[in-house]
Amino acid sequence: MADTSDFRNGLCIEYNGKLFTIVSFQHVKPGKGPAFVRTKLKNLETGKVIDNTFTSGVKITTVRIERRPYQYLYKDEAGYNFMNSENFEQVSIPESLIDAAELLKEGQECEIVYHAEKETPLQVDLPPFVEMEVTYTEPGIKGDTATNTLKAATVETGATVMVPLFINTGDLIKVDTRDKSYSERVKK
């Protein structure tokens, strides 16, 4: 058992019978009344983020989780198949546990978060940025870099990403996997 003084970003807790990770927290000591902790909790099953307030000092149940390195292999009707980078064991993960599944490419390194006591996968974490080749987009205009106008581009995995007007088919771009947005063009 732990209490609210042990809160930190990324801590996994059991709350109302479900598993949550702490996205952010803030200790608040008002001028009147008891202190409390304002938190944003992400449900590991649904991915939904909720706001919650805990009274300072309340006991919470922490859950031990492990991050294990895996390599993405392929997708089939059973789900997404990964190989453990340490012991070469293969595991199939359903799409619901992957935040940005459309940005996975074969051979990509990922981390799978496991519930340590139950040995069940909770979620798949992609690296923060991935490099993708643009397979199709409308032709760009040379020198058109001054505006913030975006256009749709299809990348090698089939995902659609909004990119600036100067990006062309065949360009290599860096994509942020957390919000599926364009980050920068990569020099070849």
- The per-residue pLDDT for range 107-124, each reduced to its tens digit, is 999 999 888 888 888 888
How do residues 12-57 score in pLDDT, each as one tens digit?
A: 999 988 989 898 999 999 888 899 999 999 888 777 889 999 998 8
Supply the pLDDT for residue 129. Answer: 92
**Strand 59-62 relative to strand 49-55, pairing:** unpaired
Name the superfamily (CATH) of residues 66-125: Nucleic acid-binding proteins (2.40.50.140)
Per CATH, which fold does 2-62 belong to?
SH3 type barrels. (2.30.30)
pLDDT in tens, 66-109: 889 999 999 998 889 999 988 999 999 988 888 888 999 899 99
Return the exposure string of 153-179: e unless at least 16 CB atoms fall within 10 Å of the residue's CB, then b.
Answer: bebebebebebbbebbeebebebbbee
Q: Do domains 2-62 and 66-125 have the same CATH topology?
A: no
Domain at 129-186: CATH code = 2.40.50.140
Confidence (pTM): 0.75
Both structure tokens of 36: 């409390």
Domain spans, the chain: 2-62, 66-125, 129-186
CA distances from 75 to 85, 128, 132, 176 (A): 18, 21, 18, 22
